[in-house]
Chain A
Amino acid sequence: MKLRGNVWKFNHNVNTDEIIAARYLNTFDACELGAHCMEDIELDFSGKISVGDIIVAGRNFGCGSSREHAPIAIKGCGISCVIAESFARIFYRNAINIGLPILVSQQAAENINQGETLEIDLKEGKIYNLSSKKKYSTEKFADFMQEIIDSGGLLNWIQKKYVGTSHDLSDIKVKRKR
């Protein structure tokens, strides 16, 4: 799957309160959350972006609260992918679980600038900066995470692997680090 969009650049430690403030957590409607995405650090963010645009950020993107509203808001406002130097762990899980594409690349995070146009090949994990003509590769996901991503999220994966079977997930063998 290929994505194409313009870059919105953010710094290190973008937290979930900034992605979606707690005052909006009395709903989990994606469009409504999307309308307020990032507004405390980038006024009218959802109004300024075009569908398909891409967030590029520094270290520890999505730190703070476990609210799944954060990746839902990012998806809901039309962002197609988040690239960061690193992600906070709960955000990372949540993004994979709900099917928001995320990519880890220090080089891309450091060198891509606000407003540049990117083309991303999610399957290959490659980022092409169409503005600067540079290419970046990204960190590979662990096999079973890739399986969840390919299923379109954790619940779809559970649906396939577990529902209607006599399977106990804790029977699945330990997987050593690749």
Chain B
Amino acid sequence: MGQTITEKIFNLHIKGKKVKAGDFVYAKVDLALGNDVTAPIAIEEFEKLGINKVKDSSSIVLVPDHFTPAKDIRSAQQARALKDFALRYNVEHYYEIGRMGIEHALLPEQGLVLPGSLIIGADSHTCTYGALGAFSTGIGSTDLAACWATGCCWFKVPETIKFIYHGTRKKWVTGKDLILFTIGKVGVDGALYKAMEFSGHVIEKLPIDQRFTMANMAIEAGGKSGIIAPDRITLEYIKEHPYKGLSTKNKEKQPVLLSSDKDAEYAQVIEINVSEIEPQVAMPHLPSNTLGVSKLKKICIDQVVIGSCTNGRISDLRIAAKILKGKKIHKNVRCIIFPATQEIYLQALKEGLIEIFVKADAVVSTSTCGPCLGGHMGVLAKGERALATTNRNFVGRMGHPESEVYLSNPAVAAASAIAGQIIGPEQL
């Protein structure tokens, strides 16, 4: 019996025989990520061990991105804890404000993620890196502390659900719509504990930014990881984003190009014809509560958020700018745009996108996870309604428990910001 790409990545990170889904393993971890919300707990737990050294500082990545630039004193203390830890243990991959970005856009951009890597992060959207053919998954703070100490993490090798996407994408239909449609089809626990392998002709042609968006939201179907076998598009991205740090170990790492065997065993194979899919909107309060945008009744909105680890990349901003150019945001709406990293911000500046946004009466913020989780920079009041290109629309996700969040792609978000109600770009 053959193996899935996920099983093969585990083979590379353990000693001994080939793994199969269901095995419990302690695997060596290539990268372990923490942020200003999750790492402070890990730091406290780690220090309790009393070992005063980390196993491999070059594998540690710390990104203060959730409540930064610090929104209050306590958040400042949490960010400070990361900085102190980085200084104490000589952690090179600590990204200070000005050099940082939203972690899941930042790490690939910094050349830290390679196909075949095994990555954990104390953030549920760590599954994003599967877009580059890595196994990556979210874990908790205690897991992170244990990994800093041992270089390893325990896993149950997941079964895989293979998703095959056929057909031709309609105009304005992006990776965001494919993943929202998929979550709508399988439900928020439809891929519980499983790897979601995205494949088929549509994926083979899908640009890398949209692949990131799809892998990013695997967790919203309960998935342990999302993964796309590396190909020409992956390698182009890797080439354009070489490792930018100093660590020799990271400099010497090479991509490992794996794919699932033809006779690999899958828990399920799900085929999706994308030709019939229109841009999707997830309604409150679950990402699986999806509907084609044209089927929505009139839904007026107070806020639009374009950005996040899901849709804050340069191509997302280009789509938004294309729609917002020469237009004005609706008088009853505030539109907040978040380039996901400094590099993306700079690129948007060079291309004149920022000017388009400001002239349209949108505000452009520094990179932060802030509004996505109701942290800061766009918290909703009671009864307010937002349309966001982010990944979750749970009760109170973006602010007051009686506020509402709808999810969509950047084109729908931009068009809706102009219209003051949720519409598709073609209805504008």
Q: Which of B15, B38, B154, B222 contacts A66 (CB 8 A)?
A: B38
Chain B binding surface SS class: loop
**Does residue A123 face the partner (Cβ distance < 8 Å to B)?**
no
Q: Which of A15, A23, A158, A170 contacts B28 (CB 8 A)?
A: A170
**Does residue B163 face the partner (Cβ distance < 8 Å to A)?**
no
**Does residue A53 face the partner (Cβ distance < 8 Å to B)?**
no
Do A98 and B392 form a contact, CB below 8 Å, given A163-B149, A174-B16?
Answer: no
A68 to B17, CA, bound (A): 33
A139 to B139, CA, bound (A): 22
CB distance A170 to B13 under 8 Å? yes
A13 to B24, CA, bound (A): 26
- The distance from the CB of B323 to the nearest CB of chain A, in whole angstroms, is 29
**Does residue B401 face the partner (Cβ distance < 8 Å to A)?**
yes
CB distance A169 to B222 under 8 Å? no
Do A90 and B154 form a contact, CB below 8 Å, given A28-B40, A41-B395, A174-B14?
Answer: no
CB distance A21 to B41 under 8 Å? no
- The distance from the CB of A160 to the nearest CB of chain B, in whole angstroms, is 11
CB distance A97 to B143 under 8 Å? yes
- Chain B hits for A116, CB < 8 A: none
Q: Which of B19, B141, B375, B395 contacts A40 (CB 8 A)?
A: B395
- Chain B hits for A65, CB < 8 A: 123-124, 373, 392
- Chain A hits for B397, CB < 8 A: 17, 22
Indicate with 1 or 0, residue by residue over A8-20, a CB within 8 angstroms of chain B CB atoms: 0000110101100
- The distance from the CB of A57 to the nearest CB of chain B, in whole angstroms, is 12
CB distance A63 to B374 under 8 Å? no
- Chain A hits for B38, CB < 8 A: 66-68
Residues in A54-71 with C-beta less than 8 Å from chain B: 59-60, 63-69
A88 to B25, CA, bound (A): 20
- Chain A hits for B392, CB < 8 A: 15, 17, 64-65
CB distance B24 to A18 under 8 Å? no
A15 to B391, CA, bound (A): 13
- Chain A hits for B15, CB < 8 A: 170-171
CB distance A90 to B139 under 8 Å? yes
A72 to B142, CA, bound (A): 11
A177 to B15, CA, bound (A): 18
**Does residue A114 face the partner (Cβ distance < 8 Å to B)?**
no
A40 to B140, CA, bound (A): 23
CB distance B394 to A68 under 8 Å? no
Residues in A67-103 with C-beta less than 8 Å from chain B: 67-69, 72, 86, 88-90, 93-94, 97-98
Query: What's the A-B contact tally at a CB cutoff of 8 Å?
Result: 169
- The distance from the CB of A19 to the nearest CB of chain B, in whole angstroms, is 10
**Does residue B122 face the partner (Cβ distance < 8 Å to A)?**
yes
A39 to B74, CA, bound (A): 21
- Chain A hits for B319, CB < 8 A: none
A32 to B392, CA, bound (A): 25
**Does residue A166 face the partner (Cβ distance < 8 Å to B)?**
no
Do A68 and B26 form a contact, CB below 8 Å, given A63-B189, A173-B16?
Answer: no
CB distance B139 to A93 under 8 Å? yes
- Chain B hits for A170, CB < 8 A: 13-15, 26-28, 151-152
- The distance from the CB of A71 to the nearest CB of chain B, in whole angstroms, is 8
> Which of A64, A89, A177 has most chain B Cβ within 10 Å?
A89
- Chain A hits for B78, CB < 8 A: 26
Residues in B354-401 with C-beta less than 8 Å from chain A: 373-375, 379, 392, 394-397, 401
Q: Which of B23, B66, B150 contacts A175 (CB 8 A)?
A: B23
Residues in B33-48 with C-beta less than 8 Å from chain A: 37-38, 40-41, 44-45, 48
CB distance A154 to B146 under 8 Å? yes
CB distance A66 to B140 under 8 Å? yes
A-B contact pairs, 28 of them (CB 8 A): A13-B189, A15-B392, A17-B394, A17-B395, A18-B395, A21-B374, A23-B375, A64-B392, A72-B41, A90-B138, A93-B143, A94-B140, A94-B141, A94-B142, A97-B140, A97-B143, A142-B156, A144-B24, A144-B154, A153-B142, A154-B143, A155-B145, A158-B150, A162-B150, A168-B152, A175-B24, A176-B22, A176-B23
Point out residues on B near A: beta carbons under 8 Å: 13-17, 19, 22-28, 37-38, 40-41, 44-45, 48-51, 66-67, 71-72, 74-75, 78, 121-124, 126, 138-143, 145-146, 149-152, 154, 156, 188-189, 192-193, 219, 222, 224, 286, 373-375, 379, 392, 394-397, 401
New A-B pairs, 13, CB < 8 Å, besides A67-B140, A68-B122, A142-B24: A39-B401, A41-B401, A60-B189, A60-B222, A65-B123, A88-B222, A93-B139, A142-B156, A154-B146, A155-B45, A155-B142, A168-B151, A174-B23
